Amino acid sequence: MSDEVLQAIKSILPEERILENEDMDAHTTFRVGGPARFMLIVETGEELSSIVKYLNTIRREFFLLGNGSNLLVSDKGYDGIVLRLSGEFANHEVSGERINSGAAAQLSVVARAAADNSLTGMEFAAGIPGSVGGAMVMNAGAFGGDMSMIVESVQIMDENGEILTLENDTMEFGYRRSVIKGSKYIVTNVTFKLSQGDRDEILAAMNEIAEKRRQKQPLEYASAGSTFKRPEGYYAGKLIMDAGLRGFSIGGARVSDKHCGFVINQGYASAADIYDVICQVQERVKDRFGVDLEREVILLGDF
């Protein structure tokens, strides 16, 4: 980044929120990854608008970081700019049967707020480790529910720094996708529309889902959750198991023995280890069954 660009950014953000060579292993649930050249922590809509307009004006690409729960960063890091939303973007507010949430709020925290206010509909989201914004991008879901079922509207910022509102029917929600995915839109705020329910029943349902997660998923290890999307007509975990890959490992990365759809960090994996396991799984499943396993995990940096 040139001195001119850095000075322009410093005119928008205080220096303490402009981080240089920030290690990304602290910002992903895989707990791996080298440094990002710059990480900009943005706390207000005005700051975000100014940063987005400026970076797009000079045609400087950036990566928007959510909770890092679906992200694999190269060991070499990322020689670019990472934006991380904080401050007002991490807030949420309950109003009747609606919850207005900033994009940086934790989805599980918002789900708990729904339960505390006797609002039903978000039980399935209680254990999803991502941010609200990230959940919109990929239409996050689990245990028979997904975002398309509970979102009323999504506030986004376009590449000109302008705010737009997308209603549910214009979000183009599908399996692990939405109109946001692959676009230059940035989710800033989400309105969830829920229903009144019984608090004890809601909490009981959330506890039941949490127990299912503990039993079926390797929560004791660092991972990015489900590593692969579900191929039509199949289950990724079963294909991987039937290909004889349960427990397959390279370095510190391993196909989980508990759930073959998860690639885990045993505590000493590199990003390269994880990437190599993913590639081997894809190759062997393709060779054995002729099925292409598509990564759910996003790659950042050079592999």
Q: Of the residues 176, 178, 256, 295, which is catalytic?
A: 176
Q: Of the residues 50, 69, 108, 226, which is catalytic?
A: 226
Could you tell me the pLDDT band of residue 2, with boundaries at 50, 70 and 90? confident
Residues 97 and 194 in one domain: yes
Residues 211 and 222 in one domain: no
Residues 222 and 207 in one domain: no
Question: pLDDT, tens digit, for every residue of 239-296?
Answer: 999 999 999 999 999 999 999 999 999 999 999 999 999 999 999 999 999 999 999 9
- 143 against 99, higher pLDDT: 99
CA 108 – CA 230 distance, rounded (Å): 23
CA 112 – CA 122 distance, rounded (Å): 8
Question: pLDDT, tens digit, for every residue of 160-217?
Answer: 999 999 999 999 999 999 999 999 999 999 999 999 999 999 999 999 999 999 999 9
Q: Which residues does 42 contact at the CB level (< 8 Å), separation at least 6? A: 13, 17, 48, 51, 83, 84, 85, 86, 87, 89
Taking 90 as the threshold, does the pLDDT of residue 127 lie above it? no
Question: pLDDT, tens digit, for every residue of 108-118?
Answer: 999 999 999 99
What is the pLDDT, as a whole number, of residue 98? 98
Residues 71 and 113 in one domain: no
Residues 95 and 202 in one domain: yes
- Where a domain ends, among 183, 215, 247? 215
Residues 207 and 154 in one domain: yes
- Where a domain ends, among 215, 249, 281? 215
Q: Catalytic residue at 256?
A: no
| Torsional sign, CA 163, 169, 174, 179 | negative
Residues 156 and 228 in one domain: no
- Where a domain ends, among 85, 117, 149? 85
Residues 111 and 182 in one domain: yes
Q: What is the mean pLDDT of residues 136-149?
A: 94
Q: What is the mean pLDDT of residues 142-158?
A: 96
Q: Of the residues 88, 97, 159, 296, which is catalytic?
A: 296
CATH number of the domain that residue 230 is part of? 3.90.78.10
Q: End-to-end alpha-carbon separation of the chain, Å?
A: 22
- Quote the number of domains for the chain: 3
Question: pLDDT, tens digit, for every residue of 227-236?
Answer: 999 999 999 9
Question: pLDDT, tens digit, for every residue of 3-15?
Answer: 899 999 999 999 9
Residues 206 and 106 in one domain: yes
Cα atoms found within 13 Å of the Cα of residue 28, Cβ hemisphere only: 31
CATH number of the domain that residue 145 is part of? 3.30.465.10
Domain range holding 191?
90-215
Could you tell me the pLDDT band of residue 1, with boundaries at 50, 70 and 90? confident
Residues 147 and 172 in one domain: yes
Residues 208 and 287 in one domain: no
What is the pLDDT, as a whole number, of residue 253? 99
CA 108 – CA 122 distance, rounded (Å): 9
Q: Which residues does 299 contact at the CB level (< 8 Å), separation at least 6? A: 72, 74, 275
Q: Catalytic residue at 49?
A: no
Question: pLDDT, tens digit, for every residue of 43-85?
Answer: 999 999 999 999 999 999 999 999 999 999 999 999 999 999 9
The SS3 of residue 113 is helix
Q: Catalytic residue at 226?
A: yes
CATH number of the domain that residue 76 is part of? 3.30.43.10
Strands 222-223, 263-265: pairing kind:
antiparallel
Residues 102 and 205 in one domain: yes
